[in-house]
Chain A
Amino acid sequence: MGALLNDQYTFELLLSLLIPLLVCSCLVFALERISLSPLPYLLFFSISITSILGLTKTLTGSHAAATNIYLYGLSFYSASLAYLLKNKKLSIQEIFHISNPLLLITGPIAIFVKNSKRSISKRIKYYFPFIVLGLFLSQAIAPNLVGTFFLIEKTDAISSLVFAMIFELFVYANFCGLSLLIYGISGVMGFKIPLNFKQPFSSTNIIDFWKGWHRTLSIVLKGLFYLPLKKRFPTEIALLGVYISSAMWHGVSFNFLLWGLFHSLMFILTLWLLRRKMHLITFPLLIFSIIFGRLLFADSDTSRLISKLAFPYDGFSSITLLLNMPRMTLLSIFLIFTFVLCEIIFQKYSLFRARNYKFYRLPIVSCILLILTLAMISVSDGSYAVYGQR
């Protein structure tokens, strides 16, 4: 038994040492082959280096606090700088823009700031509903879902899938909520930034989904990896390069490598299906990609993830545990589930078609969301930043 454990430990140790080495070597090799200037890429992957050195945690979204205060926000700073450098837009003014701590938690959004020409009253009227929606998602819903995080430790199939689904909803509520909040506040202050999330669930396939999820990072990845790789390699290789780079940016670990491979495969498969007009298969594939992708993304504990991937059946105990959660948690799960379901079901209707949360910005809906937010909010729940902190 002891020898078995030792073998497993050695295997995991080797795995965790070999993966980063392998990935970094491949990247260096690829960069050398296509003779790209390495500095933007070194900057972009500086967060991967700190991840290998153990100075920062992986970006699974389940860590509540920053691991290293001196490297707080490095992932977004380095991604923004790399993008600016690559596009020859690096200037003192741009560095000033990306240093804005308000924008640190929502992605490399700061590189796209413009000044708004609207009057203050028009800005308030337009952006206030975004603030309400952001508050609802990030302050009323997301903190109440944190109580379900214990499910990450359960390795049976039902628990793993239930956790993946709830965690997907949590990340959406928290990250999209914070992004909308910053979008609204910046807008009222006269700064126009892009919508980081555009109703990602109003999609019929995974390609559409990614067009609405963390859009600023997608732009950076497109500029840094997809376009240069596409010039020299087929689309499939370019997509693989984008997803593996994105995975390593999130953290150098086994789960992210799997996540990158899985999502690039799903993207390529969807592309293939769309070319053959097999639209009916792409939606179930989207749901599968989101849930299974989140299962891989959320757990950086390699041995636990491997246990989960065996999908052992152990009854419905996690459902019972979930039903015993505080009522506020159950209410939050119900609300965010309904929110996402509306995005999916009504995506063809005019209030959802533009994918800019128009329905949720209607005055009557805003008022209801504000009442719900203020009725659910409390200090004990705290707040929960997912990304920028690392």
Chain B
Amino acid sequence: MGAMPCMDNVNKLIYHFAIPFVLIAYCLFVIYDYNFYDGNGRVASIEKHTSNIKNTNIDALILGGSNSYLSLSAETLSLKSDHSWYNLSLFSEGYTDENYMHFLKEEFGGAKSKDIRIIIYSTIYPNREERFILERQTGKMNIAGRRKSIKPNYSFISHIRNSIDKGMLYPLPNKYGDFDFNNFDCILKGKSDFRPVHVDISSVWLQKNLISIQSIFPDAHIIVVSPSEFFDNPDNLIDTTLHAERLFHSLTALNKKNNVNINFSMIGEASYNKKNLLCDDYHHANSKGRNYRTQNLYTQIIAANQESIRYE
């Protein structure tokens, strides 16, 4: 019987002190998370791009998301071609179209934008579910993926893990804007997400983005790249190139219909089934895979130039 009052006291302690304390601690954590959010190194990477661009003469750009940040090399393209390339790809292409275009305008305001002659725009979104394109147009995240919410951007457990395991943080880009694989452990955790949205939807989205890119870089020729990715099943390897071809025809028809003039061409990269070329996801190459993909793309660009324009 003596245990009951004791239990009552413990319960009171929990209700009157422990639970309010946990709730207050959570509120403070959400405020901390919002104000000190760095997106596992995304914020620092964006700042490094800004400082790199200020001190470099660039006439060719790689744009896109993580697929091109990890899997294409501006350094290799600069060595192979006469252009000075810079990789200005951001994770998830800055999360929304508005963020990314605003970022490009900020970085290349005024005369500097007219120096750009050629752009590789490697975007994975036409090869993903429709909801991702919708989120790009309506999402409320900032350029590093920070959202305003009563939930934290990263869970408390993730914060603890990141403070212990520094390998989780994304390294700063090098002077060409390329991903620095020397400071990152590639542990494959991804899976195949190739679920292409219907070309009639992706072409409308792509046209809007290409118009924005062309307005920022009026003298540039844009090479839209449908990026290669890994497939478990070799029978599926053909899918990406076929889809890119369909997308190109849909976009060309749309441009004609809307009387839009964009200086662009399109390349559909053939996918591969070599797992040793992957980093942490099926569309993220590792250092070896980046050489492989960049070399292949460069060969395709040269071939496309000879043929005037791919798919026509």
Contact = CB atoms under 8 A, between A and B. Distances in A.
A301 B188 CA distance: 29
Contacts of A65: 131
A325 B281 CA distance: 12
A364 B155 contact: no
A282 to B, nearest CB: 37
A379 interface: yes
Interface string B154-166: 1111100100000
Given A64-B131, A325-B189, A364 B22 contact: no
Chain B interface residue number, banded? 20 to 34
A366 B18 CA distance: 11
A218 to B, nearest CB: 33
B276 to A, nearest CB: 16
Given A65-B131, A150-B192, A374-B26, A379 B19 contact: no
A376 B158 CA distance: 8
A325 B15 CA distance: 36
B19 A374 contact: no
A315 to B, nearest CB: 13
Describe A's contact surface by its main secondary structure: helix
A101 interface: no
Contact of A363 (B15, B22, B188): B15
A367 B131 contact: no
Contacts of B156: 374-376
A366 B22 CA distance: 12
B191 interface: yes
A285 interface: no
A43 to B, nearest CB: 31
B14 A378 contact: no
Contacts of B147: 379-380
Nearest to A383: B151
Nearest to B160: A375
B134 to A, nearest CB: 9
B153 interface: yes
B152 interface: yes
B154 A380 contact: yes
A378 B131 contact: no
B204 interface: no
B306 interface: no
Interface string A361-374: 00110110011001
Nearest to B149: A379
A364 B189 contact: no
A56 B188 CA distance: 36
Contacts of B26: 374
Interface in A343-390: 363-364, 366-367, 370-371, 374-380
B309 interface: no
Contacts of A380: 145, 147, 153-154
**Interface core residue of A150, A327, A328, A367 (most chain B CB under 10 Å):** A367
A150 B191 contact: yes
A328 B10 contact: no
Contacts of B131: 64-65
B26 to A, nearest CB: 4
A324 B152 contact: no
A371 B155 CA distance: 12
Contacts of B11: 363-364
A361 to B, nearest CB: 11
**Interface core residue of B14, B18, B155, B157 (most chain A CB under 10 Å):** B155
Contact of B152 (A366, A371, A378): A378
Contacts of A375: 155-157
A135 B233 CA distance: 39
Contacts of A363: 10-11, 14-15
B192 to A, nearest CB: 7
Nearest to A382: B151
Nearest to A139: B151
Nearest to A377: B151
Given A367-B18, A378-B152, A328 B158 contact: yes
A326 interface: yes
Nearest to B18: A367
A113 interface: no
Nearest 3 A-B pairs (CB), nearest first? A378-B155, A379-B151, A363-B14
Interface in B228-283: none
A39 interface: no
Interface in B17-58: 18-19, 22-23, 26, 29
Contacts of A227: none
Interface string A116-151: 000000000100000000000001000000000010
B14 A374 contact: no
Nearest to B150: A379
Contacts of A325: 189
Contacts of A321: 191
A325 B191 CA distance: 10
Contact of A370 (B22, B145, B192): B22
Interface in B159-198: 161, 188-189, 191-193
A85 B147 CA distance: 45
A377 B147 CA distance: 14
Given A377-B151, A377-B155, A367 B14 contact: yes
B149 A328 contact: no
B188 to A, nearest CB: 7
A366 B19 contact: yes
